[in-house]
Structure 1
Amino acid sequence: MKGDLMQSRSPWYRIVAVFVAVAVSAVFVPQPAVAAPSWRLIDLGAGDDSEAIAINDLGHVVGNRNGTSFLLRDGRFTELGSLPGGYTRVSDINNRDEVVGWSFVDGDTIHGFLWRRGTMIDLGALPGGRDSQALAINDRSEIVGNADNGSALHGFVWRDGVLTDLGGDPVNDYSDAQDINNAGQIAGYWGAGNYSAVPVRWSRGERLQLSDELGGATGINGRGHVTGSFVVEGGGFSRGYLWRDGRFTAVDPPAGASFFIVQKLNNRDQVVGRSDLGGVVWQDGRARVLPKLGEAAEANDIDEQGRIAGYSTTAGPGFTTRAVLWVRQGFSFPGGR
């Protein structure tokens, strides 16, 4: 998961080798007969090796493709560019069309960035450290992510040009901030990293540990509800949960799936993520497998209209990934799709 990307220098290079990219345009793709009947799949036309990462409430989508990043709004692409070292990955977009992610600043250092009205702003790094990545942004332009301080990985929050360290566990010196809502509440990890942390929520400067069970928090909505996954025996995240008002609800995988790794949620507590059957949307105890082009798919983000951004692999030999959007039947994507 995102929170485990900076335990050492080498994971950054594994990221670059493994991540798929994204862009956007659009062609309607008929839904396979085996998929849930209430959803349809839209290929965003970003081309091969692309992935849609996030969507805002205006229906604007950001994604990655081959080391470059794109914003799709009103049917038009904007290429976001990069910091001086090239290679860019986007992570999130807010309702002001401000985009965050990370990019190389030289041959072996990456920094989080804020893209605003065509300008790429370098968020810098924590004192003593070199690397950072921005993972989420709210409508107040507050940004969270993680950064090294020269010896450990810590979560941070960026406000008005100031990068603030959220600290680390006193024993293992680790934290990670994964998402932030408009009230400034932050969801993330606290502990040892590498599947040895616990889920936490920061609110008004106070950190609340949600559980003693190992896991992490990857999403928080405007109601302060948190979603994430717990670690299973042997390591790895595979048991999803929804935390609201101090209580946990299991976010179980769809029938026939062996796991469900959750990503984000909206204010209706609709949760999205991936399973061994493909992309999944969950609500009120029911999980649905989303239509897909080939064998695999992943749902990365969901807006307040229920539109879901992600990717699907294509069918047949030599398959690739395609940036896609899932919408409810009868709902149109902005731009006439």
Structure 2
Amino acid sequence: MPHNLRVATFNCENLFSRPRIFAQTPATSKELLGYVAELQEALKNDIFDKARIKELEEKLKGFATVNDLRGKHDSNAVIGAKDWLGGVELTRTGFSDAAVENTARVISDVDADVICLIEVEERSLLQKFHDGLLYKDFLEPAGKSEYKYVYLIDGNDPRGIDVAFLSRIPVTSFCSHIHETTLYEGKTLKTFSRDCLEVELVAPNGKPLHLMINHFKSMGYSSGNDLQSNRRRLGQAQRVAELLDRHNLKNDYVIVAGDLNSDPSSPSMQPLITKPNLYNTLLNLPASQRGTYGTDSKQLDYILVSDALKQHIQDVKLERRGVYSKTKWVPYPTVKNTRTQASDHAAVIVEFLLP
């Protein structure tokens, strides 16, 4: 009996929490930040003024909390800065933002068995997004299954721009490459700007499915020890090509997916675009329909598949409705401008019919 498999990749761009303080009016934010500074100072005193600390905590309720690792700062004992361990933490926003809701709408409509997600802050946030918004408000009401497997490993980007994935099919193993380094003109740098996250799953027909999730170096130049982005992406593509050599692409189910930040014509993409037995699935679409970024024609997002999977492709499409456009397509009614769009990237979707 044939088995259906749908795989997608989506740079969701906005799965980041935000301090609730900064969602207020400028005057309110300034006042609250003043209380935060005062609370921080109060917690440095040799003897705590507990009445004042309690008063400040009440003023900051819903906006900041004291993370007390030993549970002592509000005890009845006379204590001070040397007797406790912790700090003041800003409360992060939930998922009421229109852009994040549209992100959930895209993922729900894509309805993939496995979806690679690019630009996600952390795993706990992704789990909360799945449980509290994606499944509760979109998947479950539509009679769609939850994602049992919610994975993210912190990568090399100090801003918390990580790669992640959601899966309904079993995960058997995964491997991170954040530790790998490359020598550029005498400077040792991390090979991957974020990560090349390798995942092994069980395809619906029981065969292993090997997935490599990537977010290559951004298109702009960086300062400091980071060299030009094209050279960084070339090195990243070369390393992924090396990892592909561990597989027999004629027989093994292998996918390279994510935001590779270069058009297929770019020299930095050639190690993958010209890789024998590896296929760019968007070639199934007319050239004018392959643009995945913004409203132009650039393909930055990819699902590259081994020949073993290429022969089972049934459909390739893009979900663009989460991207705001005035004329090129009709976005979701809830995508009213670039502020409310789910992302400036379309989701790439490939459907397979496996034997």
TM over 0.5: no
Q: Is the strand fraction higher in 1 or 2?
A: 1
TM-score (norm 2): 0.34
Greater relative contact order (Cα < 8 A, sep 6+): 2
Q: Is the helix fraction higher in 1 or 2?
A: 2
Greater CA radius of gyration, 1 or 2? 2
TM-score (norm 1): 0.35
